């Protein structure tokens, strides 16, 4: 439990809630119900094992925060997740009701590990992210989101066998995930690349015969597997230019998949979207 003020609220509540739920207790020393609710919240926080954080705000000392969150009576409890208020209750409540309130906020241990994995990945700590993903999957083998993230990391480091093992364990519901199509395309490219000639050999084939669209597609797959998205898009665009019908429009369809994979390179994607439109229209 920590005490927050206007100056520390963004750090202690909004930023902290991006890693785990934060429960804010607006209280005041003169408030009788506050003296009953506060210790109960502190006890439940200790029992939670760090799955959520309690922050107390003295409403008398922080009227700006009370006004901002519409506090008209205390105790007033607001829960924050991902920097936003998501739930609240007013007045002292029995322990059972508070536990039910918290149960709606606190992710299960597997989901908590997944959150920590994504935070580590955003910070460039791939090895730490992979550790958290292993924990998430061990806690809940049906956690498709964790498996999809694990597949992406394994593909990044070239562990095709490990990626395929996780992919085979996904449930049918995984296809509903936003990352499904992108990771599926990456895995397919990596598997194809493993059976293809080296990029240099394919490039020499194209030098000898620029119209060899099968070689262009194979070279694009190798580039995709290596996350060389600009080089892949160049080959795919050339396929579209030379024969839109080749492979049932595979050049255009594969370009759309690469656009999703290369989302972290918006200038590249924008350039090739414009060039593709110029060819199509």
- Cis preceding-peptide flag for 75 (omega within 30 of 0): yes
Known catalytic residue: 31?
A: yes
Structure tokens at 198: 């080296």
**List 4, 31, 71, 269, catalytic entry:** 31
- In this prediction, residue 277 carries a pLDDT of 95
Over residues 183-237, the pLDDT tens digits come to 998 898 889 888 999 999 999 999 999 999 999 999 999 999 888 999 999 999 9
Please count the CA atoms within 13 angstroms of the CA of 228 that sit on its side-chain side. 13
- In this prediction, residue 26 carries a pLDDT of 96
- In this prediction, residue 247 carries a pLDDT of 94
- In this prediction, residue 179 carries a pLDDT of 87
Q: How many CB atoms lie within 10 A of CB 174?
A: 19
**List 22, 34, 170, 185, catalytic entry:** 34
CA dihedral 135, 140, 141, 144 (to 10 degrees): -90
* Three-state DSSP class for residue 13: helix
Domains identified in the chain and CATH numbers = 2-103 (3.40.30.10), 109-177 (1.25.40.10), 199-280 (1.25.40)
Which stretches of the chain drop beneath a pLDDT of 70? none
- Of 153, 182, 179, nearest to 166 by C-alpha is 153
Neighbouring-strand partners of residue 27: 58
Over residues 30-52, the pLDDT tens digits come to 999 999 999 999 999 999 888 89
User: What are all long-range contacts of 159-162, with beta carbons under 8 Å and residues at least 24 apart?
Assistant: 160/190, 160/191, 160/194
- Of 81, 115, 75, nearest to 98 by C-alpha is 75
- In this prediction, residue 153 carries a pLDDT of 94
Q: How buried is residue 24: exposed, middle or buried, by Cβ count under 10 Å (0-12/13-18/19+)?
A: buried
Contact between 113 and 136 under an 8 Å Cβ cutoff? The reply is yes
**DSSP line for 192-242:** HHTTSPPHHHHHHHHHH-TT-HHHHHHHHHHHHHTT-HHHHHHHHHHHHHH
Which one-letter DSSP state was computed for residue 106? S
CA dihedral 135, 139, 142, 144 (to 10 degrees): -30
Sheet of 53-58, strands arranged across = 2-3, 53-58, 22-27, 76-81, 84-90
Backbone angles phi, psi at 201, to 5 degrees: -65, -40
- In this prediction, residue 88 carries a pLDDT of 94
């Amino acid at each position: 439990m920590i005490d927050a003020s206007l100056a520390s609220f963004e750090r202690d509540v909004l930023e902290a809630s991006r890693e785990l739920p934060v429960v804010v207790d607006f209280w005041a020393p003169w408030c009788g119900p506050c003296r009953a609710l506060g210790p109960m919240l502190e006890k439940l926080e200790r029992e939670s094992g760090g799955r959520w954080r309690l922050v107390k705000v003295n409403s008398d000392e922080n009227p700006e925060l009370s006004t901002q969150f519409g506090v008209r009576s205390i105790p007033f409890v607001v829960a924050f997740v991902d920097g936003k208020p998501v739930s609240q209750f007013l007045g002292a409540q029995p322990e059972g009701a508070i536990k039910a309130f918290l149960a709606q906020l606190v992710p299960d241990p597997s989901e908590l590990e997944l959150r920590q994995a994504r935070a580590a990945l955003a910070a460039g700590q791939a090895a730490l992210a992979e550790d958290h993903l292993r924990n998430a999957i061990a806690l809940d083998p049906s956690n498709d989101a964790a498996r999809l993230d694990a597949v992406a990391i394994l593909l990044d480091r070239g562990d095709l066998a490990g990626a395929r093992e996780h992919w085979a364990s996904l449930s049918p519901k995984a296809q509903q995930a936003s990352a499904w199509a992108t990771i599926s395309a990456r895995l397919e490219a990596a598997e194809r690349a493993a059976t293809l000639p080296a990029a240099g050999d394919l490039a020499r084939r194209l030098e000898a015969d620029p119209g060899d669209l099968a070689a262009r597609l194979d070279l694009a797959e190798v580039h995709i597997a290596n996350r060389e998205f600009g080089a892949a898009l160049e080959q795919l665009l050339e396929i579209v230019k030379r024969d839109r019908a080749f492979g049932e429009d595979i050049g255009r369809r594969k370009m759309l998949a690469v656009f999703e994979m290369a989302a972290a390179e918006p200038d590249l994607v924008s350039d090739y979207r414009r060039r593709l439109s110029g060819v199509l229209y």
